Amino acid sequence: MTIAVKPIAGALGAEISGVNVGDDLDDSTIVEIRQALLDHQVIFFRDQDLDVPRHKAFTRRFGELFVHPNFQFGQDNPEIVYVRREPGDRQVLGQGWHADTTMMATPPMGAILYALEVPAMGGDTLFANQYLAYNALSTGMKYMLDGLRAVHNDTRIAGPGTGLNAERASQVREDEDWRPTETAHPVVRTHPETGRKCLFVNGIYVHHFEGMTVAESQPLLDYLYAHAVRPEFTCRFRWRPGSIAFWDNRCTLHLAVHDNHDAVRHMQRTQIA
């Protein structure tokens, strides 16, 4: 192997060293990085130098670039989302446990987040392993969830009714022309590369189970949301400038910790279709 892989927690997460992802990497190194992602669900790199072209080029080695529909303001690089927190922000992008953009019919395979500026303390990101979350369910619960579908939409995180842009520096579409996107996904999904089953619900995008009311769905959803992020399923990443987190969106949840309200946190993100 040309890379070194060091797990950072028992549940998931590994730090990768021995590689500069901004270089023109050979195919065998990309295969190793992808295998590390499949093995550990989220991988981290330190001391990287990624301008926009290199960030996009590295992302393309794993799939096509995904363009997020709620961050389109006519910018030069629609594939790049800047996740920014300014002093005094009352909310931050991604502060609830979620997988990314799950209202889409085919949600992104993954995301690559690069740190441009981070606070001296705070602003960590947490990740949760949804293979473990599924495996820890009882046989009866697995049987009940089998075949159940959850309805995901983006009405909590975009659109003119949210008022989020007044609360934070990271802006989303809130114009009157915006329309919600909604898709039903299986509550239990089989990962297309590993063949492993994982839980696939999150409190940002899921509104109810298909064929059930919100009131009927909520008790079970609340249980699954709490179960999915039990501490023993998680890892925590401390950012430094030049750090990268690359997560598998198909089998993890993540959360941005909003614990330093007086500092700038500026990140650059791509997503993989």
Tell me the mean pLDDT in the region 198-215.
98
Q: Residue 179: which pLDDT band, with cuts at 50, 70 and 90?
A: very high
Tell me the mean pLDDT in the region 196-206.
98
Length of the chain, please?
A: 273
- 49-52 long-range contacts (CB < 8 A, ≥24 apart) are 49/20, 49/22, 49/242, 50/21, 50/22, 50/114, 50/244, 50/268, 51/22, 52/77, 52/80, 52/268
Q: Is the pLDDT of residue 161 over 90?
A: no
Q: Residue 195: which pLDDT band, with cuts at 50, 70 and 90?
A: very high
Q: Are the C-beta atoms of 80 and 238 separated by less than 8 Å?
A: no
Kindly list the structural domains of the chain, giving each domain's residue range(s) and its CATH number in brackets, ordered by start: 4-272 (3.60.130.10)
Lowest-confidence region among 44-58, 76-90, 97-111, 221-235: 76-90
- Of 164, 175, 171, 174, nearest to 91 (Cα)? 164
pLDDT at 210: 98
Q: Are the C-beta atoms of 255 and 48 separated by less than 8 Å?
A: no
- Which tokens hold the place of 218? 């909520």
pLDDT > 90: percent of the chain: 82
Give pLDDT tens digits for 94-135. Answer: 889 999 999 999 999 999 999 999 999 999 999 999 999 999
Contacts of 42 by beta carbon, 8 Å cutoff, 6+ apart: 12, 13, 14, 127, 235, 237, 245, 246, 247, 248, 252, 254
Tell me the mean pLDDT in the region 250-266.
94
Tell me the mean pLDDT in the region 68-73.
84
Q: Residue 217: which pLDDT band, with cuts at 50, 70 and 90?
A: very high
Q: Are the C-beta atoms of 263 and 87 separated by less than 8 Å?
A: yes
Point out the catalytic residue in the list 84, 85, 100, 154: 100
Q: Are the C-beta atoms of 206 and 150 separated by less than 8 Å?
A: yes
Q: Residue 163: which pLDDT band, with cuts at 50, 70 and 90?
A: confident
pLDDT at 272: 98
pLDDT at 90: 87
Give the CB-side neighbour count of residue 216, counting CA atoms within 13 A.
Answer: 6
Concerning whether 98 is annotated as a catalytic residue, the answer is yes
Point out the catalytic residue in the list 68, 185, 254, 265: 254
The rounded distance, in Å, linking the Cα atoms of 114 and 123 is: 13
Point out the catalytic residue in the list 40, 84, 98, 173: 98
pLDDT at 74: 74
Point out the catalytic residue in the list 68, 84, 185, 269: 269
Phi, psi of 272 (to 5 degrees): -110, 125
Pairing between β-strand 42-45 and β-strand 14-17 as defined by DSSP bridges: parallel
pLDDT at 7: 98
Concerning whether 254 is annotated as a catalytic residue, the answer is yes
Sign of the C-alpha dihedral computed for residues 215, 156, 85 and 7 taken in this order: positive
Phi, psi of 132 (to 5 degrees): -60, -40
For residues 33, 50, 95, 235, the Cα torsion angle rounded to the nearest 10 degrees is: 30
- Which tokens hold the place of 132? 């473990």
Residue 29 three-state SS:
helix
CB atoms within 10 A of CB 123: 21
Tell me the mean pLDDT in the region 206-217.
98
Q: Residue 137: which pLDDT band, with cuts at 50, 70 and 90?
A: very high
